[in-house]
């Protein structure tokens, strides 16, 4: 294990120069890399451009300044191997996925996709390290919760959050972690990876009749009916989220999927934009008022346009910055 720790500790960071002047207000560090976006075949349903649109939006709104945007570097295989099998990683590295495996993944393999998946995983680990010292941080890609240890599916190649948690544990930075997975699809890969690990609390609230058909067992699963709207959704979240803080995690990862929105191509729920904003705010307040460092990752979102998807994703980051700003301005009412 000592060798692995030494290797994965060499993931460094560099700042992204985006030409925006420094601003003095409270902001949150976010992780981004231009290679988070890779080319897909024309007509492919995955909204790859949402990552750069999200970054551009947060920079334009000055929620992120040049100094707050950090860039991950490619991680060593040893880090990825804390979660994924050597056989699966070898296939990914060599382009050896079969046609059936690529269909299950929903993405065609490419060298760029392999690079993107590794960078996004390193980005979530980097965000976690920042969150441990600063309270909150975000990665502008990630939340690829359908990736299992030995295969990918549902647009998810590597399980970035699992890699970040195992990376932090290997560095002895943490022992206990929690995952708050509010993407509309169940976090089946995450649940399977941490099935036998009491130190990692997995919470998934998702559409019961949505993908994946075969759900894995999380520590806490909250299935929702098709058509669930704001009040029912937020009531369920208020009932169940306290179980996460009760698990006393040393860090929490929030998969702030916006495919819960009404009109989402793959969602089947009926959340309004205001409902999503309130959901994001509640998660942030609950974790931060309990002193739990929080990492925010976008996870899924398939609104009618990519600009709309990016706009919905931006709410979690806006709410995080607003919370931090209020915290520095004066006492903040605790979430109960």
Q: Which residue is nearest to Zn ion (CB)?
A: 300
Which one, 183 or 230, has the nearer CB to Zn ion? 183
Which one, 78 or 266, has the nearer CB to Zn ion? 266
Which one, 55 or 185, has the nearer CB to Zn ion? 185
Closest separation between CB of residue 153 and Zn ion, Å?
12
Closest separation between CB of residue 185 and Zn ion, Å?
4
Contact present, 138 and 275 (Cβ < 8 Å): no
Q: What is the Cα–Cα distance from 205 to 157, expressed in whole angstroms? A: 22
Nearest Cα to 283, choosing from 210, 208, 205?
A: 205
DSSP codes joined into one string, 185-200: S--HHHHHHTTT-TTE
Q: What is the Cα–Cα distance from 120 to 73, expressed in whole angstroms? A: 9
Which one, 75 or 189, has the nearer CB to Zn ion? 189
Closest separation between CB of residue 87 and Zn ion, Å?
27
Closest separation between CB of residue 221 and Zn ion, Å?
15
Contacts of residue 258, defined as CB under 8 A and 6 or more positions apart, other chains included, come to 264, 276, 298, 300, 301, 303, 309, 312, 313, 315
Which one, 61 or 226, has the nearer CB to Zn ion? 226
Which one, 58 or 258, has the nearer CB to Zn ion? 258
Closest separation between CB of residue 70 and Zn ion, Å?
26
User: What are residue 30's DSSP bridge partners?
Assistant: 69, 138
Contact present, 153 and 213 (Cβ < 8 Å): no
Which one, 183 or 324, has the nearer CB to Zn ion? 183
Closest separation between CB of residue 182 and Zn ion, Å?
10
Which one, 117 or 169, has the nearer CB to Zn ion? 117
Q: What is the Cα–Cα distance from 128 to 148, expressed in whole angstroms? A: 21
List C-alpha distances in Å: 65 to 15, 19, 155: 11, 9, 30
* Residue 57: strand, helix, or coil: helix
Closest separation between CB of residue 300 and Zn ion, Å?
3
Which two tokens mark 300? 């899924």
- Residues of this chain that bind Zn ion (CB under 5 A): 183, 185, 257, 259, 300
Closest separation between CB of residue 216 and Zn ion, Å?
15
List C-alpha distances in Å: 300 to 32, 72, 145: 17, 21, 10
* Residue 288: strand, helix, or coil: helix
């Amino acid at each position: 294990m000592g060798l692995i720790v030494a290797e994965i500790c060499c993931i460094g960071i560099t700042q992204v120069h985006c030409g925006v002047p420094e601003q003095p207000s409270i902001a949150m560090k976010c992780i981004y890399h231009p290679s988070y976006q890779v080319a897909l075949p024309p007509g492919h349903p995955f909204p790859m451009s949402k990552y750069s649109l999200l970054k551009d939006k947060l920079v334009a709104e000055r929620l992120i300044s040049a100094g707050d945007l950090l860039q991950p570097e490619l991680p060593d295989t040893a880090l990825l191997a804390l979660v994924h099998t050597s056989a699966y990683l070898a296939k990914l590295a060599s382009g050896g996925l079969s046609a059936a495996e690529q269909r299950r993944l929903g993405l065609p393999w490419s060298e760029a996709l392999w690079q993107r998946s590794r960078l996004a995983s390193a980005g979530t680990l980097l965000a976690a390290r920042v969150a441990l010292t600063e309270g909150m941080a975000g990665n502008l890609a990630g939340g690829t919760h359908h990736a299992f240890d030995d295969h990918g599916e549902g647009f998810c190649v590597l399980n970035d959050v699992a890699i970040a948690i195992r990376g932090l544990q290997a560095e002895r930075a943490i022992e206990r972690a929690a995952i708050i997975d509010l993407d509309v699809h169940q976090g089946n890969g995450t649940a399977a990876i941490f099935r036998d690990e009491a130190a990692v609390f997995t919470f998934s609230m998702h559409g019961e009749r949505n993908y994946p058909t075969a759900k894995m067992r999380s520590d806490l699963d909250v299935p929702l009916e098709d058509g669930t709207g704001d009040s029912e959704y937020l009531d369920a979240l208020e009932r169940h989220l306290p179980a996460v803080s009760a698990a006393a995690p040393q860090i929490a990862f929030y998969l702030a999927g916006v495919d819960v929105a009404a009109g989402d191509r793959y969602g089947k729920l009926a959340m309004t934009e205001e409902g999503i904003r309130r959901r994001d705010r509640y998660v942030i307040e609950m974790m931060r008022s309990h002193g739990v460092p929080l990492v925010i990752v976008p996870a899924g979102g398939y609104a009618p346009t990519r600009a709309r998807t990016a706009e919905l994703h931006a709410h979690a980051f806006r709410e995080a910055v607003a919370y931090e700003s209020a915290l520095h301005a004066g006492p903040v009412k605790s979430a109960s």
